[in-house]
Amino acid sequence: MSSTIQNHNAIAKIGSLLFARQTPMLAAERHQGIVESIKSWRARRAAAAELAALSDRELADIGLTRQEIPAALRGQR
């Protein structure tokens, strides 16, 4: 009886190794909202970095001040 249990455990370990690479992708597909939130956050972060790299004169040309950058990224401006 214990050899049967050991065989089942060995098969389970092999199965988990075979499908381990697929698990994160399947989980991501199930949680599409989380993936979209992360993509949106990364896009806002990149936009913030680009705006922060502009000079005060360049920001004034597009109608922003440094203090307004966070509000503009949230869409509140």
pLDDT in tens, 7-63: 556 666 666 666 665 556 666 667 778 888 889 999 999 999 999 999 999 999 999
pTM of the predicted model as reported, rounded to 2 decimal places: 0.55
Contact between residue 53 and residue 47 where contact means Cβ atoms under 8 Å apart: no
Please provide the DSSP assignment of 26-60 as one string.
HHHHHTHHHHHHHHHHHHHHHHHHHHHHS-HHHHH
Residue 68 has pLDDT above 80, yes or no: yes
Does 2 or 16 have the greater pLDDT score?
16
Q: State the pLDDT at residue 34.
A: 82
Q: State the pLDDT at residue 57.
A: 96
List the domain boundaries for the chain. Answer: 1-30, 32-77
